[in-house]
């Protein structure tokens, strides 16, 4: 094949397999990194932007949709402790390598302060 001996054919096959695997695993890791960075920024600036927990939850769900991350607003757990809150999200990306099915599990946990209306 193409003037290659068996060893070279084998190495080419391995190389192509590695490229295929990287093309399957790369995007989920990239999207997870971008999504976690967004969550960190959203939580960090929630109080200065006067956001409530529902605003934070809606913004995170919207960004997850943009990154094709399979979560809904229900999957976003927000725990309040006074003016502070904790956002906890676990999500999974299915990976299909044709001969092997794998699922990547990502977990994001961030803490910040929330805006509360003083008139309540």
pTM summary value: 0.81
- Give residue 116's pLDDT: 63
pLDDT in tens, 18-63: 999 999 999 999 999 999 999 999 998 888 888 888 888 999 999 9
C-alpha to C-alpha distance for 112 and 80, rounded to whole angstroms = 10
State the DSSP string of 16-80.
HHHHHHHHHHHHHHHHHHHHHHHHHHHHHTTTTTT--HHHHHHHHHHHHHHTT----GGG-EEEE
C-alpha to C-alpha distance for 119 and 117, rounded to whole angstroms = 5
Segments making up each domain of the chain, as ranges: 6-113
């Amino acid at each position: 094949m193409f003037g290659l001996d068996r060893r070279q054919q084998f190495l080419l096959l391995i190389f192509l397999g590695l490229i295929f695997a990287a093309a399957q695993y790369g995007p989920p890791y990239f999207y997870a990194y971008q999504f976690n960075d967004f969550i960190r920024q959203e939580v960090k600036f929630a109080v200065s932007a006067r956001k409530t927990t529902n605003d934070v939850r809606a913004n995170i769900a919207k960004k997850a949709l943009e990154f094709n991350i399979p979560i809904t607003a229900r999957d976003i757990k927000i725990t309040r402790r006074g003016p502070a809150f904790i956002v906890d999200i676990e999500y999974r990306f299915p990976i299909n390598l044709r001969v092997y099915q794998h699922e990547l599990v990502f977990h994001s946990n961030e803490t910040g302060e929330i805006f509360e209306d003083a008139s309540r």
